[in-house]
C-alpha cells in the first residue's frame, strides 16, 4: 500500500501545505466545525473541480465514508420508493445488497452488531445502523485504505466500541485508516498519528504522543459558533405570542393545556417488526425527558409517533396537547406547538432553498418554504443566523453548508417559534465539543426558565444533564 501524499492543496477555506500518511500509520484529524475539516473529505474524493493542488497521491482502493455520501444513498433510496404502489410501506433495498459477498463476512457483520439487520430494508435502519452499513459496504469491497468522516456520530456506546475494535483489527491487517473527529474525546486509542485542522490549515501533525498536549491547548482557545441567551429566546417568545398563521385564525389555541403527551400501552415498528410495545408515557409542562437506548431500539420511532410522522400514531391511544390522535384533528395545528430536530428531518431536507428560507420554514413546519412570510418572520430568522454565526450564509443553499452548519440551522429552525414542546433527536450530531456544550448549556437555561419542555434523544453520556426530570431507557 502506498502512502497518502498531499502537497499544497486548496479547497474553499482549507489549505494543506503537506500531509503524508505512511503505510502502517493510523491517522485521526481533529478540528472544530468551521476549521475546514469537512472540506478535507471533498479533497479526498476530488469531486469538485475547484480543488487545486501541486500533488495528490491517494492510495489505490481508497474507500470514503462521509455524511454527504450517506445522504446520496438516502436520496437514491427515496427515488426507488414504491410505497404508493404497494399495500404496505416499501422498506427499501435490503441491507445485505449493499455488501459484496456478505456470506463471506459474517464475522465482520457480527462485529458491527448488524447480523439481525441484514434482511431489513435501508429505510428501516436507524441512523446509526445506516452509518455502520456504509462502513461495511466499503470494507467488504476490499478497500486498501479507509477514510471515515466522524465515524462515531449517531452510534450508541457499544457500537462505538465495536467500531473501534473492527478498525483496530483492520489496521493490524494492513488496511490504512484515516478518520476525522470534531471532539477530542473521540480520538480512538488505535490511532498512531494525530493532526489538528484549525482556521483552514493543517496546523499540527505527528505521532500521537508528541502533539496531544499542544493540540488540546489550541482547541481550548476556540469559541463556539452557537451563542444564544435564554433572555433572547424569552424576548422572541413575547414577539411570537401574537403571531397566528392565516389558515388557523379560527382554531383554538392550546397554550393553557399542561398535558403535552400521553401515550398509553404504546407500540410501533416497521415492516412487521415491533420495536417497542407496552410503553406508557406522560409528559406535562416542565417534564424534561431524556430518551436513551441502543441503535435501532425505537427511540426515533417514538418521537415520530409523537410528531405524527409514523402511521402508528393513529393506531395508538395517544394524546398530544390534550387532543386524541385519530379524531379528525389537524397534525399541522398540533405541530404549531412543536419544534423538531432529528436525523430524519435532516435527511429529508434536501429541497431547493437557501439557509434563511430553511429557518423561516420552521414557523410553518414545512420542508421548504412555500408560504408568504412577514418582515417580522424574516427579522427573527436573521437574528438566528447571527446567533449561530451564519449571517454570511443567508443566501447559501442549505445543502451546500457543512453538515455541522446544517445542524445548527435546523436547531435555529426549531427554536424560531419558541415551541411549547421541543423534540430533539440527537440534535448535536456532528457538532464539535464547543458547540455541543453551548447548545446543551442553552437548553439547560431553557429548562430552568420553563420556556419550552424538552424531549431529548441522545447516545452520548456527556449529554445526560441534571435538568432532565425523567429518563426513558428503550
Half-sphere exposure of 7 (CA within 13 A, CB side): 5
- Asked which of 187, 219, 251 is the last residue of a domain, the reply is 219
Average pLDDT score over the chain:
88
Q: Which domain holds residue 318?
A: 230-473
CATH code for the domain of 353: 3.40.50.300
364 and 261 within one domain: yes
Among 62, 54, 52, 50, CA closest to 4: 62
In a domain, 225, yes or no: no
pLDDT reading at 257 higher than 90: no
Structure confidence by residue, pLDDT tens digits, 387-434: 999 999 999 999 999 999 999 999 999 999 999 999 999 999 999 989
Counted residue by residue, the chain has a size of 474
323 and 246 within one domain: yes
Structure confidence by residue, pLDDT tens digits, 219-228: 877 788 999 8
Cα separation of 300 and 349, whole Å? 17
In a domain, 107, yes or no: yes
Contact 144, 59 (CB under 8 A): yes
321 and 192 within one domain: no
149 and 109 within one domain: yes
288 and 199 within one domain: no
285 and 265 within one domain: yes
What's the total number of domains in the chain? Answer: 2
Structure confidence by residue, pLDDT tens digits, 272-326: 778 899 999 999 999 999 999 988 888 999 999 999 988 888 889 999 999 999 8
In a domain, 411, yes or no: yes
pLDDT given at position 245: 41
Cα separation of 455 and 359, whole Å? 21
In a domain, 460, yes or no: yes
242 and 210 within one domain: no
Contact 377, 363 (CB under 8 A): yes
Structure confidence by residue, pLDDT tens digits, 154-195: 888 888 998 898 899 889 999 999 999 998 889 999 999 999
The DSSP element (H or E) to which 262 belongs, if any, is: strand 259-270
Helix (H, G, I), strand (E, B) or coil at 55: strand
241 and 175 within one domain: no
124 and 8 within one domain: yes
pLDDT given at position 218: 84
In a domain, 51, yes or no: yes
In a domain, 191, yes or no: yes
Structure confidence by residue, pLDDT tens digits, 49-71: 899 999 999 998 899 999 888 88
64 and 31 within one domain: yes
Q: HEC profile for 215-259? A: HHHHHCCCCCCCCCCHHHHHHHHHHHCCCCCHHHCCCCCCCCCCE
Structure confidence by residue, pLDDT tens digits, 107-162: 889 888 899 899 889 988 888 889 899 999 999 998 999 999 999 988 888 889 98
| Long-range CB contacts (within 8 A, 24+) of 385-388 | 385/355, 385/356, 385/359, 385/412, 387/226, 387/227, 387/228, 387/232, 387/412, 388/225, 388/226, 388/227, 388/228, 388/412
Residue bearing the bigger pLDDT, 411 or 269? 411
**Is residue 366 left, alpha or beta, with left meaning phi > 0 and alpha meaning psi from -120 to 50?**
beta
In a domain, 224, yes or no: no
274 and 162 within one domain: no
215 and 121 within one domain: yes
- Asked which of 191, 219, 247 is the last residue of a domain, the reply is 219
Cα separation of 195 and 128, whole Å? 26
- Asked which of 162, 189, 219 is the last residue of a domain, the reply is 219
Amino acid at each position: 500500500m502506498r502512502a497518502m501524499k498531499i502537497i499544497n492543496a486548496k479547497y474553499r477555506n482549507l489549505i494543506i501545505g503537506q500531509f503524508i500518511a505512511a503505510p502502517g500509520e493510523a491517522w485521526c484529524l481533529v478540528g472544530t466545525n468551521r476549521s475546514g475539516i469537512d472540506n478535507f473529505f471533498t479533497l479526498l474524493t476530488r469531486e469538485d473541480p475547484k480543488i487545486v493542488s501541486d500533488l495528490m497521491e491517494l492510495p489505490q482502493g481508497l474507500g470514503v465514508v462521509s455524511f454527504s455520501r450517506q445522504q446520496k444513498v438516502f436520496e437514491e433510496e427515496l427515488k426507488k420508493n414504491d410505497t404508493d404502489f404497494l399495500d404496505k410501506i416499501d422498506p427499501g433495498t435490503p441491507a445485505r445488497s449493499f455488501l459484496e459477498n456478505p456470506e463471506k463476512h459474517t464475522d465482520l457483520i457480527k462485529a458491527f452488531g448488524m447480523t439481525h439487520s441484514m434482511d431489513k430494508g435501508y429505510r428501516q435502519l436507524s441512523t446509526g445502523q445506516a452509518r455502520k452499513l456504509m462502513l461495511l459496504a466499503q470494507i467488504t469491497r476490499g478497500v486498501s485504505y479507509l477514510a471515515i468522516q466522524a465515524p462515531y456520530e449517531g452510534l450508541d456506546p457499544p457500537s462505538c466500541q465495536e467500531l473501534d475494535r473492527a478498525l483496530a483489527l483492520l489496521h493490524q491487517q494492513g488496511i490504512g485508516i484515516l478518520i476525522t473527529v470534531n471532539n477530542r474525546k473521540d480520538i480512538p486509542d488505535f490511532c498512531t498519528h494525530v493532526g489538528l485542522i484549525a482556521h483552514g490549515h493543517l496546523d499540527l501533525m505527528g505521532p500521537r504522543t508528541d502533539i496531544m498536549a499542544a493540540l488540546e491547548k489550541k482547541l481550548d482557545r476556540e469559541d463556539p459558533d452557537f451563542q444564544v441567551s435564554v433572555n433572547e429566546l424569552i424576548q422572541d417568545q413575547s414577539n411570537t405570542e401574537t403571531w397566528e398563521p392565516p389558515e388557523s385564525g379560527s382554531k383554538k389555541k392550546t397554550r393553557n393545556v399542561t398535558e403535552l403527551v400521553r401515550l398509553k400501552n404504546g407500540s410501533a415498528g416497521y415492516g412487521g417488526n415491533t420495536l417497542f410495545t407496552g410503553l406508557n408515557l406522560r409528559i406535562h409542562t416542565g417534564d424534561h425527558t431524556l430518551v436513551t437506548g441502543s441503535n435501532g431500539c425505537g427511540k426515533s420511532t417514538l418521537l415520530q409517533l409523537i410528531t405524527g410522522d409514523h402511521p402508528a400514531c393513529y393506531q395508538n391511544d395517544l394524546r398530544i396537547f390534550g387532543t386524541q390522535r385519530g379524531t379528525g384533528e389537524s397534525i399541522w395545528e398540533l405541530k404549531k406547538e412543536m419544534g423538531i430536530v432529528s436525523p430524519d428531518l435532516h435527511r429529508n431536507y434536501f429541497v431547493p432553498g437557501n439557509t434563511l428560507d430553511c429557518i423561516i420554514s420552521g414557523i410553518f413546519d414545512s420542508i421548504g418554504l412555500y408560504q408568504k412570510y412577514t418582515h417580522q418572520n424574516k427579522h427573527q430568522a436573521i437574528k438566528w443566523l447571527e446567533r449561530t454565526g451564519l449571517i454570511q450564509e443567508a443566501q447559501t443553499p442549505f445543502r451546500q453548508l457543512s453538515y455541522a452548519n446544517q445542524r445548527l440551522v435546523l436547531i435555529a429552525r426549531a427554536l424560531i417559534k419558541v415551541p411549547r414542546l421541543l423534540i430533539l433527536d440527537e440534535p448535536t450530531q456532528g457538532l464539535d465539543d464547543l458547540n455541543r456544550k453551548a447548545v446543551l448549556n442553552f437548553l439547560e437555561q431553557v429548562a430552568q426558565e420553563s420556556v419550552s419542555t424538552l424531549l431529548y434523544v441522545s447516545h452520548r453520556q456527556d449529554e445526560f444533564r441534571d435538568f432532565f426530570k425523567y429518563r426513558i431507557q428503550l
